Structure 1
Amino acid sequence: MIDYTALPSLAGVYLEDSYVLEIIECRDRLVFNLDAVLTPEHPAYHSPLPGEHYCYTAASLVFPDVGHVEWVNRSACRFTDATGAMDLGNIDSLTVEGNLYAVEGDWGMVRIQSSPPRIDLKV
């Protein structure tokens, strides 16, 4: 089992402090819409805005070509930040073994059989 930081398609993204805004489950893909933290290694990185510790950007963590999704547990918890924006918490871990991905956070835990995930920045 390996950690997401070893996946080239997720290079330059720090999931543990990214915020999950929405989870969309479709027939052929699973999408986590994020307020994503980019690290200096990411080509779209910029200095953090005043009052922020990280470079945040709107992005989607996309699991394409989904063969199977198994929700181990789900939570309806919502969190509100200082600006009043709501989110589902963070992605605490994302591990991979073959084509099986295990993703866990405040929102629950899901196992996904799919092609490698990717980050799509929203422009």
Structure 2
Amino acid sequence: MRDNYLSFPGFEEVSLEDSYVLDIEVHPAVLVIKLDLLLLPGHPEHRAPLPGERACFRPATVVFSSVCDLHWTGQNVIKPAIDASGTLDFGSVDSMTRGDDSYQILGDWGEINLQSDAPSLSIDLAPTP
């Protein structure tokens, strides 16, 4: 059985499917996914959308540490989109699930399967209006 990311501690009241992947970094024993993260209204950091935004987005980072095995397929199809402000993004996270001792992350940028500690999510502080 696979658990969806919404059951992971710290991932409540966010939508990875409606967020934008800004970068994916793989380092020895670490996977980092940088996002423009959509916070849902129930999230404690949720604020009114900034001017020009359709919803509450905040810079955020997902970190998988103690990675002991990682396979990333489909990297050759990565073609970033450029938004009106000139920012590059690689689409969204279509799904992030946990199996018995592994994680699977899917998106336009490919598929990552890894064994690691549970991911952590850190959200940058909301900018002041």
The two structures have a TM-score, normalised by structure 1, of 0.92
- Asked if 1:22 is matched to 2:19, the reply is no
Q: Secondary structure at the match of 1:18?
A: strand
Corresponding residue pairs, total? 123
- Any stretches of 5+ residues in structure 1 without a counterpart? none
Amino acid at match of 2:51: P
Q: Quote the residue 2:6 is aligned against.
A: 5
- CA offset at residue 53 of structure 1? 2.3
Instruction: Report the identity percentage.
Output: 37
Give the superposed CA RMSD: 1.3
More strand by proportion, 1 or 2? 1
Q: C-alpha displacement at 1:120, in angstroms?
A: 1.1
> Bigger CA drift: 44-53 or 65-74?
44-53
- Contact in 2 for aligned 1:79/1:86 (Cα 8 Å): yes
Contact 1:99 1:116 survives alignment (8 Å): no
Structure 2 residue runs of 5 or longer lacking an equivalent are none
Which residue of structure 2 aligns with residue 115 of structure 1?
117
Offset at residue 28 of structure 1 (A): 1.5
Kept after mapping to 2: 8 A contact 1:4/1:94: yes
Asked which structure has the greater CA Rg, the reply is: 2
Deviation of 1:110 after TM superposition, in Å, equals 0.5
